[in-house]
Amino acid sequence: MKRMKNNYRLTIQYDGTRYFGWEHQPNTDMTIQGKIEAVLARMTGEDVEVLGAGRTDAGVHAKAMVANCMLSTELTEEEIRDYLNRYLPEDICITKVAIAGPRFHARYNAIGKTYCYTCYIGDSKPVFNRKYVFIPEGRPNVDRMKSAAAYLTGEHDFAAFCSNPKMKKSTVRTVDRIEIAVSGDLLTFTFHGSGFLQHMVRILVGTLLEVGFEKRTPESILTLLEKKDRREAGPTAPACGLCLMSVDYQ
């Protein structure tokens, strides 16, 4: 008799340095989704699809990615977690497994996400966290960046901050919080919003850094939002500094 499948919610940490992002990619098995699905297939003896809350890019990290999958197993939630952690690579960890409602969908039910981007602005070298920070040339003006960030907060068309020129869906998003802070040798940008476009956070950071280095004015953000032209915005900051911190659900 075939066992009934339950919908399981997974909370996942990963160091994205070695991987080509969350989502399956052709000609490689080095994706977070692929690694987790392979272990679950080994555990259950059947193919398993793991649905993530988002599609982090190659090299991007996560402290609390959320995913869900349907499993037919007699193992408890804790035993599933322990099995996964036993066979997953050392740079991927399942921190929690819980049975979710049958209609729970990690992506479609998400109502918000928090990302943090970290820069190292010290005078030395960040030897031990070099894989998780971007090192700009110099120390940007934080007050100028905060002024620019104020123009980005709220509901806007963020087309200028999207790397996909063929985006067919709406590029309107709500970013309700942008915090820029310095703690010791680290400069952090924290973004919270309803959702983010492809490379959006990294383009926002690259643009804000240009403001901080006086390559553009804080007020130029208004023109970017109005023109909706990616070519007018700043560079895409490197993936290594970006981390998905949390996903919100009701």
Which residues are annotated as catalytic? 57
Sign, Cα dihedral of 121, 204, 206, 15: positive
Q: How far apart are the first and last CA of the chain?
A: 36
Burial bucket for residue 78 (CB in 10 Å: 0-12, 13-18, 19+): exposed
Residue 20's contacts (CB-CB under 8 Å, 6 or more residues apart) are 28, 30, 31, 58
Q: How many CA atoms lie within 13 A of 8 on its CB side?
A: 26
Helix axes of 142-152 and 220-227: crossing angle, nearest 10 degrees? 30
Q: Is 186 helix (H, G, I), strand (E, B) or coil?
A: strand
Query: Are 78 and 154 within 8 A, CB to CB?
Result: no
CB atoms within 10 A of CB 197: 20
β strands within 25-81, DSSP E: 51-52, 61-71
